[in-house]
Amino acid sequence: MSTTPGRATAEGTHRHLANFTAHAPHGHAALGGTGLTVSRLGFGCYRVDDETPDHREALAASLASGCNLIDTSTNYTDGGSERLVGQVLLEMCRAGRPAREALVVVSKIGYVQGENLRLAMERERAGFPFPEMVKYMDGCWHCIHPEFLRDQLGRSRERLRLETLDVCLLHNPEYFFSDAKKHGGGSDLDVLRAEFYRRVREAFVFFEAAVAQGEIACYGVSSNTLVVAADDPEATSVTWFLKAAEDAGGRDHHFRVLQFPMNLFESGGALLVNTGPERSRTPLEAATEAGLGILLNRPLNAIVANRLIRLADGDAAAPGEGLEGPAKELKALEEEFRARIVPGLGTPRDAIDPFFDLIGELPLLPDRIEDLETWRQVEQQQVIPRINHTARAMAQNVPEDLRPRWDSWWQRCVPSLEGLLEAIAREVSRRSRSRSGKVAAAIDPLLPDERRRETLSRKALWVLASTPGVSGVLVGMRRPAYVKDALGVLSWPPLPDPLRVYRRVKQLRSR
């Protein structure tokens, strides 16, 4: 298999980004002390794969538009994300647009899911399991042992088709703590933390060897719990990761990058004092003082009180009636079906009830769906297949003498079902736009006049990219239109005081 040779360099990244004069000097930042320069917005690959043309076009468009930072992981779309990155980079770098030296590729290792889980289970059955496997739940294991890292780094570089991976991160190693909490694995937090950082140190020893062999250029950690209170039993620490790196590689270690979630609502990285000497620093302050590059994920998806809030305006659904009308129609059709068709059916009740149970649940979905795009995915991937499956089961044993009555009933049912699905789309869209409107109204007084007319997603990305210490914000730009919308922010001068915005949103959250 063809491989893209080389790696990102200080000169290559700086020279490439200098070509995008509209973005200079605000749209670029140093990746900590690596010497590399990165676009302040990076291409986040969480939900991209190598089978969707839009994803390929979006990645290529982002690279052509001045984004030189790509973030993926071994578990994203079960390897499809890395394969897409590898294919696109091979094609573009062969053409010299851009050169390999201009691009910073980040991938992450830790999750054991999908094909990796199958591999791990096969090894267990064969008697040579990966050591120190954290079996958090069915379908999701986790491991940072050097033996697993060695296996996964080889597979990752093969999918990415890279001679050298620029940045390799441990992916959410705090699953060790989460598993202990879930399964009651010890009540002594000091003992747990000592074991956790021993495992991290051994992982860093492996990464130092991988740097020496030219397989990676540097390493780091992506952790969701870097930004929680220090006394949280699942908390991780910038200070302790730095100590583990020094223990593993000495003062000249290659621990250079941190990644954690941050958005307008979840602003702990910038506001929460939880680390450093006597816990006197925020994660951003501690990491910046240590010369680490900081990458932010989940910039537009906030988790507040166990609920996802989408920080985007969303598309407006077409006008139309609410949920009540279609729901009432379907309830009347159910009563008709049970009275006029069920008595003559040979279909057992447990093949009939699931269809109507599903129809009864549908009006509850707007409470659980965050935006119109998410609803369309749920609708196409879950709701419609379930409707079709339960309807087929229900119709399986309709006798010939009842077939005309069944057909007539189903022909009237379908438009009502379609009407309910569209009514759900309208309700989801209405609620999403109402939430985004409240956020925009709260922060607009703190923004310059010319930015108040921008979309909420652009405002949210701009605030994050303007935050001191942040190297790059990783955005899920899965469509070319998203790329164009997001990367427009790179030309904006930074917001002078983004911390004021975070504090204002905290007030909004507390109301």
pLDDT, tens digit (0-9, with 9 covering 90-100), for 157-213? 999 999 999 999 999 999 999 999 888 765 789 999 999 999 999 999 999 999 999
pTM (2 decimals)?
0.86
**Predicted local distance difference test score (pLDDT) of residue 318:** 57
pLDDT, tens digit (0-9, with 9 covering 90-100), for 360-401? 999 988 888 877 778 887 888 888 888 988 888 888 778 888
Closest Cα partner for 166 from 96, 257, 79?
Answer: 257
**Predicted local distance difference test score (pLDDT) of residue 445:** 95
Mean pLDDT, residues 26-34: 96
Element (H, E) at 111: strand 111-112
Per-residue confidence band for 86, with pLDDT thresholds at 50, 70 and 90: very high
Name the β-bridge partners of 108.
169
Lowest mean pLDDT segment, chosen from 310-314, 330-334, 355-359, 470-474: 310-314
Q: In Å, what is the CA distance from 190 to each residue of 135, 186, 232, 273?
A: 21, 10, 12, 20
Element (H, E) at 193: helix 189-212
Q: Delimit the domains of the chain by residue range.
A: 10-310, 324-435
pLDDT, tens digit (0-9, with 9 covering 90-100), for 405-446? 888 999 899 989 988 988 888 888 888 777 788 889 999 999
Q: Is the pLDDT of residue 508 over 90?
A: no
Lowest mean pLDDT segment, chosen from 59-68, 74-83, 255-264, 323-332: 323-332
Residue 307: φ, ψ to 5°: -125, 140
Per-residue confidence band for 344, with pLDDT thresholds at 50, 70 and 90: confident
Q: Is the pLDDT of residue 130 over 90?
A: yes
> Domain 10-310 is classified in which CATH homologous superfamily?
NADP-dependent oxidoreductase domain (3.20.20.100)
User: How far, in Å, CA of 459 to CA of 488, rounded?
Assistant: 11
pLDDT, tens digit (0-9, with 9 covering 90-100), for 458-475? 999 999 999 999 999 999
Q: In Å, what is the CA distance from 222 to each residue of 167, 219, 293?
A: 11, 10, 12
Q: In Å, what is the CA distance from 269 to each residue of 275, 322, 338?
A: 11, 41, 57
**Predicted local distance difference test score (pLDDT) of residue 380:** 85
User: How far, in Å, CA of 306 to CA of 36, rounded?
Assistant: 37
